[in-house]
Amino acid sequence: MDKNSKGDNRPVIELKDVWKVYDMGHIKVNALRGMTMKVMKDEFIAIMGPSGSGKSTAMNMVGALDIPSKGAIYLDGHDISKLHESDLAQIRGKKIGFIFQSFNLINSLTAMENVMLAMMFQGTDEQTRKKKAAELLTMVGLADRMHHKPTELSGGQQQRVAIARSLANDPEIVLADEPTGNLDSLSGENIMKMLMDLHHKEKRTIILVTHDKQVASHAEKIYLLKDGRIEGIKRVK
């Protein structure tokens, strides 16, 4: 995959006047109200806001997990806002790696099998899956735990498995949704260090969704979300 320097200067994801309206029977809830933002190649950005600000909906839009009620979403210049779910799933699998607060690991599978599963959906052969999964788990410091199941791992170790899984298909973008929310402070710091390393050493584009100012401070740019709108942009570094 092409991971050139920031001189490339192109948005990998762009939201233009994106609205998301949920029909709740007698009322309509405007979760996003004209959200506009650009995520440039190799950026580390955070979307921050309190509970109810629209963060989860914004993550669904940025991560191609849902389509907007109105507006356009561009991934590498292509409008994905009207694609069918099957097409979105293929794009997500190749371009975006996800890290979730609740880890989202399958408890009946080992750490290695959880990482391999992400590659299976992209048609990668078994030998390649095993080799790549072992390399990624070693990279996140779990070489001696790759044959353990999630219930045999600590929260921090489970999140490291989730990071390895997010990189299985060599995505250009890593989207982390409250990645330290279920962790103690030390484990949380270790996870943030890993995300920083992915950004600086691996040249990945990182999108962090959080309510935590300390976590958001690791980003280069923070989009402040309130009532479904971007109310400000803060440059951290």
Percentage, residues of the chain above pLDDT 90: 82
Digit-coded pLDDT (tens) for 183-201: 999 999 999 999 999 999 9
Please name the CATH architecture into which domain 42-57+85-235 falls: 3-Layer(aba) Sandwich (3.40)
CA dist 1 → 128, 169, 203, 211 (Å)? 17, 10, 11, 32
The predicted structure's pLDDT at residue 8: 60
pLDDT at 2 over 70: no
Residues 136 and 164 sit within 8 Å (Cβ to Cβ)? yes
CA atoms of 60 and 67, how far apart (whole Å): 8
Residues 6+ apart with CB under 8 A from 174: 96, 97, 98, 99, 166, 167, 195, 198, 204, 205, 206, 207
User: What is the chain's mean pLDDT, rounded?
Assistant: 92
Task: Spell out the domain ranges in the chain.
Answer: 42-57+85-235
